[in-house]
Amino acid sequence: MPQTLRCGRFELQLSRPLVMGIVNTTPDSFSDGGRYLAADAAIRHARRLLDEGADLLDIGGESTRPGSAAVSEAEELGRVLPVLEALRGCGRPLSVDTRHAAVMRGVLSAGADMINDVAGFRAPGALEAVAGGTAGLCVMHMLGEPSTMQQAPVYRDVVAEVAAFLRDRVSALLACGVARERIVLDPGIGFGKNLEHNLSLLRGLSGLAGLGLPLLLGVSRKSMVGQITGRGVGERMAGSVAAALASVHRGAAIVRVHDVAETKDALAVWQAIEG
């Protein structure tokens, strides 16, 4: 498996787990929707995550929580670009969470180092938008669309089906000339999966690692943590940190989190114990 990830201006070393901090510039994200909708609030939040030790940031301008509605590409760009431009000199890679080709082109032109696509680069024009250049590409699995994905999702073998999807999307990227060193995979916890599907994927991460590419996991504050603990969205930090540790233990190279400082501390203690 590659020990580095080419990520725009950066080459990320994967010899230790990396922490990606979440910056949502949306009014309706499931955890912090509306808190950082204003660009100056999002920029302050991003700088706080960097101070806490985030290895990279993921900036999103469209909520993809279950049941969410799409926004126009112009509105999404209007939310994301001011934040991206203000943080360009922060010294850490900047990822943009988008599934729209026009947004991908816009943020790459503005200097984004990674595109994190919950739709796995399936939208018309998405492959062409990212084929050139050196930006990192996170390929995620999602069953259906955000507005409907949690309506009774069904799999025969969730690990095998997610692996097959990711393998197919990697093949599509490679066929467009994308270097393998640019690609990271995300099984899409909570994106068209129920609790048992999510747990099966986390338990079966070694099978996904067999695809030969680094894994990125996002479990932070998600409904599976609430289902297990009975906690509301604002009370899921401890459960989210536990999920991040379990993900790293099973092979995740990057964890995408809201609580950067707490996750970094937990990883430091875990790594010291593991040696």
Question: Catalytic site residues?
Answer: 222, 256
> Which residue has tokens 């995550």?
49
Residue 184 forms beta bridges with which residues? Answer: 138
Counting runs of H as helices and runs of E as strands, what totals does the chain give? 10, 10
Q: Are 57 and 46 in contact (CB under 8 A)?
A: yes
Listed residue (251, 252, 226, 255) closest to 239, CA to CA? 226
CA 246/CA 130 separation, integer angstroms: 31
CA 167/CA 159 separation, integer angstroms: 12
CA 138/CA 95 separation, integer angstroms: 9
Q: Which helix (H) or strand (E) holds 265?
A: helix 260-274
E strand residue ranges, the chain: 4-7, 10-13, 18-24, 56-60, 94-97, 114-117, 136-140, 183-186, 216-217, 254-257
168 residue type, one letter: D
Q: Are 114 and 97 in contact (CB under 8 A)?
A: no
Question: Which tokens hold the place of 1?
Answer: 């498996």
Listed residue (119, 160, 163, 112) closest to 133, CA to CA? 112
Phi-psi map region of 127: left, alpha, beta (phi>0 left; psi -120 to 50 alpha): alpha
Q: Are 12 and 59 in contact (CB under 8 A)?
A: no
